[in-house]
Amino acid sequence: MPTTEALSAETADASRFDGNLTELEYLALASSFNLADGHARQELTPGQSKVVGELPGLWAEAVMRPVDEIEEEAHRAFFHLLGQKSYPGADGRVLACYSSSVAMEIFARALVAETDTIALVHPTFDNIPDILRGVGLRLVALEEDVLHGGDLPAELLAEVGAIFVTTPNNPTGKVLSRERLARLAAQCAETGVVLALDTCFRGFDVAGQYDHYEVLEASGCRWVVIEDTGKLWPTLELKIGWLVRSANVGLPLAKVYSDILLGVSPLIMLMIKGLAEDAADGGLADLHEFIATNRALVRANLDGIPGLTFVDPDSRVSVERIHLGERLAMDVWEKLRAHNVYLLPCAKFHWANPSEGDHMLRIALSRSPVSLDVATRALRDVLLGE
Ligand code: EGV
């Protein structure tokens, strides 16, 4: 397990922490009150347990059957579950990756062959700007208000070779509407700008489950979509990030993919297919209710604390932001650490202006209600000065 060089000793000064969000998530991995990372860590449902119980049989099936057939069944089950009926599943435009971050890395390496500048939604999870900067791209911040407010300024489109939007966004939960996606895609089509969508959290919000591929294909723009199974189900980091592209994308995505991997295990594909079928059979609605109940529990446990506000009242994604008023997130983080409770301070989500996040924390909701209850009661005590 990686450690965090920037903050390894108990005595380290947290207010001077200069690592990234994932390094803070490593610190939390050993704690039973880990509300830091956005991965799913709750118990399997009975339906999901049944799929896990079938793994030896799926292994035998994966050994016997052609991998292209298995791969098509897996992405069809997953994309159709989330309303993406028009995705280009039949013609080799769906590349399976070990994770969505691997898919993003492949996209970034292919993109930098043709442009040196990309607009990126702000705020968003910091490994995205880090991956994009890592290949040498220059980033232009695209504020959520601007993105959702109407057509993008012509100067912005002239300045960049691509636009990268996480929808629903992490951590805000903001969803790009069908109307805004259509306009954004039309503007990209007019200017030749590549439109990249990261939809890793769409499974949590039906507002993000309209048929994006229908809109994208109709626009004629050059597009890339990164889909992810990784946030939905508690599968011990077994997951797939799919990198999907338009026929006219004109980027060496398949070549860069071939530099990095041959393929994802057909065992994982069959597991994803089984979990997608269970989700279509009521599991997804149950998951939405589970997250909503956990969100209500967090809000109830933190209700009435002076200065505390809930930043994203309409969010449906599996994380919840709170604003601490005058208090500094890193101070609260440090006090909670003494109780073995871990949340995520929000500064680094604001990759272009970290101080905007200095007074906010993110709470992961894909957890057992018991650990969420204990941890948020501890947070309440800390905020009320114990
Ligand atoms: C979240 C961490 C990285 C990422 C965590 C995340 N992965 N850094 N490759 O999955 O919201 O906690 O997205």
pLDDT per residue over 312-369, tens digit each?
999 999 999 999 999 999 999 999 999 999 999 999 999 999 999 999 999 999 999 9
Task: Judge whether 327 and 305 are in contact, CB under 8 Å.
Answer: no
Judged by DSSP in three states, 169 sits in coil
Q: What is the pLDDT of residue 2?
A: 74
| CB distance 101 to ligand 1 below 6 Å | yes
Domains (range + CATH), the chain: 4-44+282-384 (3.90.1150.10), 47-277 (3.40.640.10)
Q: How confident is the model at residue 6 (pLDDT cuts 50, 70, 90)?
A: low
Instruction: Locate the ligand 1 atom nearest the alpha carbon of residue 200 and give its number.
Output: 13
| CB distance 22 to ligand 1 below 6 Å | yes
Query: Tokens in use for 61?
Result: 């099936």
In the chain, the DSSP E strands lie at 33-34, 94-97, 117-122, 138-143, 162-166, 194-198, 223-228, 241-245, 309-310, 319-323, 341-342, 344-345, 360-364
Q: How confident is the model at residue 12 (pLDDT cuts 50, 70, 90)?
A: low
Determine the distance separating the centroid of ligand 1 and the alpha carbon of 219, expressed in angstroms: 31
Q: What is the pLDDT of residue 4?
A: 67
| CB distance 37 to ligand 1 below 6 Å | yes
Residue 347 has what DSSP assignment? G
pLDDT, tens digit (0-9, with 9 covering 90-100), for 212-254: 999 999 999 999 999 999 999 999 999 999 999 999 999 999 9
